Every structure is written in structure tokens, then in C-alpha cells.
Structure 1
Amino acid sequence: MTEVDEMAVDIERIHQLNSVLRPFIKRPSSGDAVTFEQYRILHELVKEKTSTSELSRRLNVGQSMISIQISRLLKNGYIKDETLPTDRRYHVFQITDHGKAVHEHVSLVLAHELPQLMNKLASYVKV
């Protein structure tokens, strides 16, 4: 098999992986109005309250994407905004009880669905 042929096979595998992952990542989770990206933010905030820039660093995504998701999570009451008394310009976000309940539910759904997804993905990965 030539290098070009091998690259074509790899590109096809990437396309197949993308088609398997996209619905899992983009869909709202089992009735909860959170996307996978929002779940990742909730997951970080369960550990500790933190800032937009720290979330961006931890999740390895741009601050603008984090800000958009933070706005949606705030609007739905999953998190709350807190400013530091020493510097009113600095905002940290904390998960609410409602957000914790959603996080717990989505975690249970993922624990059930993730092994199935991993098995499906393994069938596409070159061994």
C-alpha cells in the first residue's frame, strides 16, 4: 500500500470516528438541557469554584467558548457568578444545587453509555 493509499484509509477512519462522536458530544444529555461542553464545565465546578480563564486552561478551549457556555449555564441556574470582594472585576463561578443534580444525572448516563461508545470507537481504530 502506498503512502497516499494509507493516508486515504486514515482520513476515512477519522471521518468514521467523527460521525460516531459528533452525536454523542453535540446532543443534549438525556433530557437535561446541557451539552457535553457544558457538562465538562459543571464537572470542573463540582471540584471547586473557578474563573473563566482557569476553565479555559483546564479544558483546553478558548475563553470565548467558555464565556458562551458560562452564559447559558448561568441563564439556566446551573451555576452562579461570584465577584471577589477585593477585586470586583474578577469573577469566579460556582455550581448550584440544581447544577450538581444535573451533573450527577449526566454522570450516571455517561457511565452507562461511555463503554458502548468506546467499544464502537475501538472498531474504527487501527490496531
Structure 2
Amino acid sequence: MVEDEHLLDQAIDLYLTGLKGLGSFVSEPSAAFFLSFEQYLILHNIVHHPGVKLMDIAKDRAVTRSAVSRQLKVLLTNHYVIQKKDPVDRRRQSLVATSEGIRVEKQITQRIKKRFSNWLTIFGMKRGAQLLDLLSEFNQQIVQANTERDESK
């Protein structure tokens, strides 16, 4: 039991000092363009899949359409994305990146790749892969399994 408490204290400390900082570390490249990391990911999807529909993004991300719509609003306001009406069904709209959106997405992607490359240089390719494998396993066995249990209640 004492060992469990020690591990809990260590987990809390890691969360407060490391994992919260990881969020800032990941989101910094997109923040320079007044975008959250989630908004960047949506822009990235639109740039690489011109004509994608809002409902497709929501399905891929396993979130509601309204959640994507809130993120999309910023992309539309900044003129990074436009909506085009479907010529067959004018109620449906596809999403297309503007030239400014494409430029911004490319710059953010370059910054993210450079940041990740620097991280691997410091941490090492092997240890980086091990860390990502371990986090992926933790996500599947603990986080996702817990989410599925909560949803089935």
C-alpha cells in the first residue's frame, strides 16, 4: 500500500510538471498563428483532404459535429478555410483551405517537425520510440478502456 501511495505521488508530480507542460510544448507552434493544436489538426486535415465534410472530421476524431464546428469557426474567421456548397445538395458543404490556410498549415507543420526532431535528438530515437509505445499501450489499456467502461454505464 505504501508503494502504491509513492507511485500515486510520483504520477501526480509527473502530471503537474511534465504532462501539462507537454500540452504547451505541443501547442506552441500553432499558438504563434492564434490556433489551438486541435484547430491546427483540423486545418491539416482540410489541407490534405480538400472537400472534406465537417461530419467526416467529427467521425474521424470521435467527437460531435458541434465540437468540430466550434473549432472550425476560428479557421473560418481567420480566412484559413472556406465552405463550399455541394452543387447536388446545397445543404451540404465541403471544406477547402484558402491559400493563406495552406501557407499557415505548412509553417506550423514545419515547426512541429523541427520541434519533434529536436526532441528525438535529445532523447534518442530508441528511447523516443519506447516512450511512444508505452504511452500508446497506456492509452489503449487504461484511458480508452476506462472511457469505454464509463460510456457503457
Q: TM-score range by the shorter chain?
A: 0.7 to 0.9
Q: Which residue of the other structure, out of 72, 75, 80, is the alignment partner of 2:77?
A: 75
Amino-acid identity (%): 23
Alignment gaps of 5+ in structure 1: none
- Map 1:1-127 onto structure 2 (within 5 A): 2-27=3-28, 29=30, 31-48=32-49, 49-117=51-119
Larger radius of gyration: 2
- Paired letter, 2:63: V
- Rounded Cα–Cα distance in structure 1 between residues aligned with 2:89 and 2:31: 39
Q: TM-score scaled by structure 1?
A: 0.78
Q: TM-score scaled by structure 2?
A: 0.66
Check 1:28–1:34 CA distance in 2 against 1; reply closer, same or farther (3 A cut).
farther
* Larger fraction in helix: 2
Are the counterparts in 1 of residues 83 and 94 from structure 2 also a CA contact under 8 Å? yes
Check 1:108–1:28 CA distance in 2 against 1; reply closer, same or farther (3 A cut).
closer
- Say which SS state the counterpart of residue 11 (structure 1) adopts: helix
* More contact order relative to length (CA 8 Å, sep ≥ 6): 1
Alignment gaps of 5+ in structure 2: 135-153
- Say which SS state the counterpart of residue 53 (structure 1) adopts: helix
The number of residue pairs the alignment matches comes to 123
- Rounded Cα–Cα distance in structure 2 between residues aligned with 1:116 and 1:20: 16
**Partner deviation per Cα, 1:15-53 (whole Å, 9 max, x = no partner):** 223331232345463642322111101111122121112
- Say which SS state the counterpart of residue 87 (structure 1) adopts: coil
